[in-house]
Homo-oligomer: A and B are copies of this chain.
Amino acid sequence: MISKEFKEQLKAIVGTDNVDDSNSGRTVYSYDATPKFQALPDIVVAPRNVDEVAAVVRLCNETKIPIVARGSGTNLCGDTCPLQGGVVLLFKHLNQILEIDKENLTITVQPGVITKEICDAVEKIDLFYPPDPSSMKISTIGGNISENSGGLRGLKYGVTGDYVMGLQVVLPNGEIIRTGGKLTKDVAGYDLTSLFVGSEGTLGIITEATLKLIPKPEAKKTILALYQVIEAAGQTVSSIIANKMIPTTLEFLDKSTLNAVEDFAKIGLPTDVEAILLIEQDGPEEIVERDIKRISEICRQQQAIDVQVAASNEEAEKLTTARRAALSALARLKPTTILEDATVPRSEIATMVKAIADIAKKYNVKISTFGHAGDGNLHPTCLTDVRNEEEMERVEDAFAEIFEKALKLGGTITGEHGVGIMKAPYLEWKLGKAGIDVMKGIKQAIDPNNIMNPGKLFAEKTRERMANIQ
């Protein structure tokens, strides 16, 4: 619980209108896109500039009140659920694109800008910001940076972190620092930019970011490859890369995801096949043509029963938009949707897809699988009901076994969604105790009072590992 004095101090910093401790106001920010987690913040605060952010943080640090920074709350690991109450900090006043620099190919933004606004703004002048999380229409760039979000174009272009050149950060002690800059090279000390990227709000508050842009690709083309044998789709992925082509997008959707998406989007997706690959290539027109031809051949060699080329950019856009809607489409089917992001080296995609199907069967749970196959980054998605406790236990056991399998294949427990509270019990499986200890040391050094998003990343108790995994 916060004191009346604390509330008055907040009001003095950000103005009365930007402080809300009403029940309804707090309830809105008690949960995010992650199922199962809910906790009321004590108060919701919307600072108007970086100095106000710093003042709020300083006050929280002095009084040891937790502080959870929140963009649109679309994360899928419970990162913006204020587990220990305290302050939820909003960026609704810090939502401006500050500058587009055409000579240095950079854009400088405040954390509250919606990601798609960035893409749209730069594409207008023939530049390109590649990271495109499926949530990009709603999610903010601050959230993307804090989670190091991936997206559909990750295979060729990498993830959010690959485009963050510099940050302004408010540290837990209220100091404001700048890391990096409009510099393609900078080795002045430890790479703090990369440390804050993906730190899930546990090390500081990002208040400004300078992002790298690239020239907009001249052309793009999209194909759908249809499969009756799931493993053949997986093998196609490995084969394309081994043939030294890196498409922009290489997405996998299994039959149940396809059916849900088609039912939702109604764009004429095939629903009678076991799996599809959605493949996009971009670049100079002649190279796109050549690559798409070669990729189509590889798909056919790998038993695709049909390869369809999108007739126009509009048709291609429809396909990509439908793919982005996979989570929403699946979420309509059952009360609770648990979407995970176990990731493996891409050579192991076929093995992993099969393992997920076997594990779902073993635990008698319904798991649809889709995801960024080219990145080895799958989204096994369980349709369930959080009120059915017995089933939820089976679901959790199934996911534990999926994580364990991913690790056995040289993979990781989370490719792009982050650890948060959702995957904290599994983090030690990936990092070992020594790895976790390094991270805890860093956290302790930067945030000694543990006010920044406490309860995330580091679990009180690590889940026991499953046995009998092949």
Contact = CB atoms under 8 A, between A and B. Distances in A.
Interface of A: 101-105, 126-127, 147-148, 150, 154-155, 158-159, 161-162, 171, 173, 175-179, 181-192, 194-195, 197-199, 203, 214-216, 238, 241-242, 244-246, 284, 286-287, 290, 343-347, 372, 375-377, 410-419, 423, 427, 430-432, 434-439, 441-442, 444-446, 457
A89 B187 CA distance: 23
A131 B102 CA distance: 26
A185 B154 contact: yes
B419 A189 contact: yes
Given A184-B376, A190-B203, A194-B194, 18 more contacts: A102-B242, A103-B242, A104-B241, A126-B244, A171-B438, A176-B434, A177-B438, A178-B432, A183-B344, A184-B346, A185-B375, A188-B430, A191-B194, A192-B439, A216-B244, A284-B290, A438-B446, A442-B442
Contacts of A444: 445
A241 to B, nearest CB: 6
A54 to B, nearest CB: 11
Nearest to A103: B347
21 contacts: A101-B347, A104-B241, A104-B347, A148-B187, A154-B184, A158-B184, A161-B191, A177-B438, A181-B410, A181-B412, A183-B344, A185-B412, A186-B343, A186-B415, A189-B435, A189-B439, A190-B439, A191-B194, A195-B442, A284-B287, A287-B287
B187 A198 contact: yes
Contact of A198 (B177, B190, B431): B190
Given A177-B432, A412-B181, A444-B445, A189 B376 contact: no
B187 A215 contact: no
Nearest to A166: B410
A442 B439 contact: no
B431 A177 contact: yes
Contacts of A437: 175
Given A104-B347, A179-B435, A214-B246, A187 B284 contact: no
* Most B C-beta atoms less than 10 A away, residue of A103, A344, A416, A439: A103
Given A159-B185, A186-B415, A177 B103 contact: no
Nearest to A287: B284
Contacts of A155: 184
* Most B C-beta atoms less than 10 A away, residue of A101, A242, A434: A434
Nearest to A190: B439
A181 B411 contact: yes
A185 B416 contact: yes
A178 B416 CA distance: 19
Contacts of A290: 284
Contact of A434 (B177, B185, B189, B412): B177
- Ranked nearest first, the 4 interchain pairs of A and B with the lowest CB-CB distance are A441-B445, A194-B194, A215-B244, A103-B347
A442 B159 CA distance: 25
Contact of A103 (B246, B286, B346): B346
Contact of A418 (B105, B162, B187, B347): B187
Contact of A419 (B154, B187, B344, B430): B187
A441 B172 CA distance: 13
Nearest to A440: B445
Given A103-B242, A199-B190, A376 B346 contact: no
Contacts of A150: 185
Contacts of A242: 102-103
Contact of A195 (B102, B171, B195, B284): B195
Nearest to A290: B284
A63 B11 CA distance: 54
A183 B414 CA distance: 11
Given A431-B177, A439-B192, A187 B126 contact: no
Contacts of A171: 434, 438
A287 B438 CA distance: 46
